[in-house]
Copies of this chain bind each other. A is one copy, B any other.
């Protein structure tokens, strides 16, 4: 029913379940000791971190600031936020096992139980509320990659998609009511940029509006906000549809739903307005003179009830682009079917030794070091051995380069390397030792480019998005 927004002419065809692909690629394991909490092996952690780094690299231009917040909070915080009762089924309770936390004259709440966080919002409210905020400080945009826990029946747990522990590319935007439209526009732009980068889509945009009966705030507050959401959606230049009356009682939202070629839908990004949490946490900012003038007196009985003189309540926008990083990874694993773009690939190249002579093995070692860490430092124009006492700079992006020096026939090694999905297959034998070069096996990616590592101009590998240059 809703229109689709194409980001690719080539919709993904899932060839296999992400769990089967992940096992073949050593991406993650599961353990009966922690059902629903996948253990990411180095290859899986590599993809996870590339996803995280990619988003981090975009945050400054979108004005997001990362914060680091607790994993456990006292029951009393979850009572303020409402989760303790409304989200009880999905929450884990945490208590100290020793007697050390107990004191006879404990302050109120001092020794009460904790809740393991299912969401970051309450912690971000504490940060917002830690100092006086002026209308000029807004929007404040906190991003947080914290691990989150939500209890699910153990029978329903599966791979990276049905989990108890996961990470969101979570963010909360604290803004003035008049800033909603601009924030939504920027978020829709961000979503489009990310989906384009991974060649994902097409996707649906669905606006859910005020429920008829149960809602907080005034109808005029809702209408103002909904009109801003509609304007932002129109300005995005993309098709969208209306789910009238389907919003949460605390605010309207926009769902972004990916569709794959089998017609399966994947809920990833969400943009959720929240009029309630700022009330529950009594968040406020010093309003501008204009705001105070135009503000209807009626509103003092709505969301702004109880604010100090001259203050107003901010709106919170919960937003995630990937949604759950684990689920997004599962999607990408199926989407790329084991052949990852070079920049997120955990198997960027493998060097195959043609034989086991010392010359060949030494050359394999040299090529591996050169490709993974770049050219060794020059002293007086001469290459010197890389000394581990010199730190590498923070923008160093090491490549994952494996070597296969086993005594098996080359054909077998190439076959295995292809099955493993290496982006480049590099062969080193006597000939390559003599001309101080490598042979790129036909069929692996973009062979010409990689070859230039050994060009006279020094070490040059062009590999796109954040790779060696």
A residues contacting B by CB (< 8 A) are 29, 31-35, 37-42, 44-46, 48-50, 53-54, 57-62, 65-74, 76-77, 88-101, 103, 107, 109-111, 114-116, 123, 126-127, 130, 142, 146-147, 149, 151-155, 165, 186, 189-190, 192-194, 196-197, 343, 372-373, 386, 388-398, 465-466
Q: How far is the CA of A116 from the CA of B153 in the complex (A)?
A: 19
Most buried by B among A41, A46, A61, A65: A61
Q: Which of B39, B146, B190, B197 contacts A388 (CB 8 A)?
A: B190
Q: Can you give 13 contacting A-B residue pairs, CB < 8 Å?
A: A33-B109, A38-B70, A39-B127, A42-B67, A44-B68, A45-B65, A57-B393, A58-B391, A61-B388, A92-B95, A94-B116, A189-B389, A393-B466
Q: Which residues of B contact A48 (CB under 8 A)?
A: 68
Number of copies: 2
Give chain B nearest CB distance to A121 CB in angstroms: 13
Given A127-B29, A388-B193, the answer on whether A98 and B93 have CB atoms closer than 8 Å is: no
Give chain B nearest CB distance to A435 CB in angstroms: 27
Q: Which of B94, B99, B193, B373 contacts A61 (CB 8 A)?
A: B373
Interface of A is mostly: mixed
Q: How far is the CA of A77 from the CA of B31 in the complex (A)?
A: 10
Do A466 and B395 touch across chains, with their CB atoms under 8 A apart? Answer: yes
Given A33-B126, A100-B152, A388-B61, the answer on whether A40 and B54 have CB atoms closer than 8 Å is: no
Do B394 and A397 touch across chains, with their CB atoms under 8 A apart? Answer: yes
Give chain B nearest CB distance to A372 CB in angstroms: 6
